[in-house]
């Protein structure tokens, strides 16, 4: 049944999609305020003006302007960050027309841009936003040796440019059987994968050197594929390597060492077998969803891997990942909650979907915690965020109320 509330809620959603958000002045009151920028504040308050956080503290300490819009919740946290997803490229219908996360005509296509495939009106974007996800690290998915690029974007707006934070965040690669070529196409083995990847990085090095020494009129012809890899070689863009098995993660570390490039391990189901090596390499991990189905390359996945990464002092974040079935994505809030149930401390679990995710993605100065000058991205909960019966009551992005329907 379509109620007046549902109709109004739909109208609000259409207005949000029709234009970039207009910031408002707002006061958010919380029985418990998790800033991730310091200790928990009991009876906390956040003053928002012009899309930014202007004051944070105890309610008794903040004097807001008269008549300001005021919201109240049992618990308030920073906006949640999905550190690895394909939302917006993959759609909820799970039909060919809304599946742009993987182009498998050839093994390596680092030039494929996420923003060229992102559908800002995709309902999956709305869905994850309603559950507190305010920042998406989204783009091409696993399934090829190099499948394309990722981008960083807020989870609102009718156009891809609305809320766009970084058009190029990482280049996506995968090692292991998940990226073997179909129907006897190359690569068909692990050694072939590494040989192909090394050869392409060497080609990119030579291309980079040609441009560095080129005289006017003698520069090489532009090559979008190699240009993308030059960004990896010069350190401006990390290589996001999906690898679940220990042997594939060790291969990724060898590649990083050989070419002096920054990598981020994605998936990392068997990371607990090589904690010392990952820590020594200084490589962060975007861990597979805690509840990912444990078969195939994830057959040795563990519910306690997040706890072990935390104890080892290895930076990590949670992701929604990619599923081959509807609805295509998980929700990082629930994945963090399950990890907390298996030994990961509450504060660490919350950090893995807020400030720690922001640090891995290089956007911690903008989002990930509640601090003066940062984007006003907040989630208002009815209770403990990791409790199954708790609802996300409201979501704020850039100082604008973007979800006001409990989920």
User: Token digits for 404?
Assistant: 């006001």
Would you put residue 50 in left (φ > 0), alpha (ψ -120 to 50) or beta? left
> pLDDT tens, 22-44?
557 999 999 999 999 999 999 99
Mean pLDDT per 10-residue section of the chain, whose length is 407 residues: 39 46 82 97 98 97 93 98 97 89 95 97 95 98 97 96 97 97 90 98 96 82 96 98 98 98 98 98 98 94 98 98 80 98 98 98 98 98 97 97 90
Q: How far apart are CA 338 and CA 141, in angstroms?
A: 24
Report residue 174: phi and psi, to 5°. -145, 140
Structural domain contains residue 39: yes
Structural domain contains residue 15: yes
Residue whose token pair is 């996360």 = 101
Q: How far apart are CA 171 and CA 148, in angstroms?
A: 6
What is this structure's pTM? 0.93
- Supply the CATH number for residue 223's domain: 3.20.20.140
**185 and 212 co-located in one domain:** yes
**148 and 209 co-located in one domain:** yes
User: Number of structural domains, the chain?
Assistant: 2
**135 and 281 co-located in one domain:** yes
> pLDDT tens, 195-248?
999 999 999 999 999 999 887 678 889 999 999 999 999 999 999 999 999 999
Q: Which of 31, 78, 69, 29 is nearest to 49 (CA)?
A: 69
Structural domain contains residue 105: yes
What is the span of the domain harbouring residue 19? Answer: 4-78+371-403
Structural domain contains residue 94: yes
**16 and 120 co-located in one domain:** no
**H/E element, 279:** helix 275-281
Structural domain contains residue 396: yes
> pLDDT tens, 121-136?
999 999 999 999 999 9
**119 and 14 co-located in one domain:** no
- Supply the CATH number for residue 67's domain: 2.30.40.10
**91 and 114 co-located in one domain:** yes
């Amino acid at each position: 049944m379509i109620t007046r509330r549902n109709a109004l809620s739909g109208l609000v959603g259409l207005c949000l999609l029709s234009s970039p958000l207009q910031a408002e002045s707002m006061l958010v009151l919380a029985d418990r305020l998790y800033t991730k920028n310091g200790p928990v504040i009991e009876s906390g308050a956040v003053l928002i003006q012009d899309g930014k956080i202007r004051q944070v503290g105890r309610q008794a300490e903040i004097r807001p302007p008269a008549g300001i819009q005021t919201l109240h919740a049992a618990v308030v946290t920073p906006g949640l960050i999905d550190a690895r997803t394909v939302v917006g490229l993959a759609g909820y219908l799970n039909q060919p027309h809304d599946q742009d996360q993987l182009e498998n005509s050839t093994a390596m296509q680092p030039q494929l841009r996420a923003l060229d495939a992102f559908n800002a009106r995709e309902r999956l974007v709305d869905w994850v936003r309603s559950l507190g996800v305010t920042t998406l690290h989204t783009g091409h998915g696993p399934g090829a040796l190099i499948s394309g690029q990722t981008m960083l974007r807020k989870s609102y707006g009718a156009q891809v440019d609305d809320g766009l934070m970084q058009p190029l965040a990482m280049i996506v690669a995968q090692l292991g059987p998940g990226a073997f070529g179909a129907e006897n196409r190359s690569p068909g083995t692990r050694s072939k994968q590494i040989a192909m990847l090394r050869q392409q990085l060497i080609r990119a090095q030579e291309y980079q050197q040609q441009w560095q020494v080129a005289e006017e009129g003698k520069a090489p012809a532009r090559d979008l594929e190699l240009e993308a890899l030059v960004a990896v070689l010069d350190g401006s863009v990390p290589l996001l390597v999906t690898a679940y098995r220990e042997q594939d993660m060790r291969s990724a570390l060898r590649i990083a060492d050989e070419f002096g490039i920054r990598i981020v391990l994605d998936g990392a189901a068997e990371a607990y077998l090589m904690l010392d090596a990952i820590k020594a390499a200084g490589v962060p991990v975007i861990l597979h969803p805690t509840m990912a189905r444990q078969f195939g390359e994830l057959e040795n996945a563990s519910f306690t891997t997040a706890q072990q990464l935390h104890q080892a002092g290895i930076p990590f974040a949670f992701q929604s990942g990619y599923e081959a079935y509807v609805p295509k994505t998980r929700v990082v809030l629930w994945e963090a909650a399950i990890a907390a149930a298996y030994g990961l401390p509450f504060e660490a679990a919350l950090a893995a979907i807020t400030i720690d995710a922001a640090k891995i993605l290089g956007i911690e100065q903008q989002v990930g915690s509640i601090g003066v000058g940062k984007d006003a991205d907040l989630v208002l909960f009815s209770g403990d965020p990791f409790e199954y019966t708790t609802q996300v009551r409201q979501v704020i992005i850039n100082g604008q109320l973007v979800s006001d329907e409990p989920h």
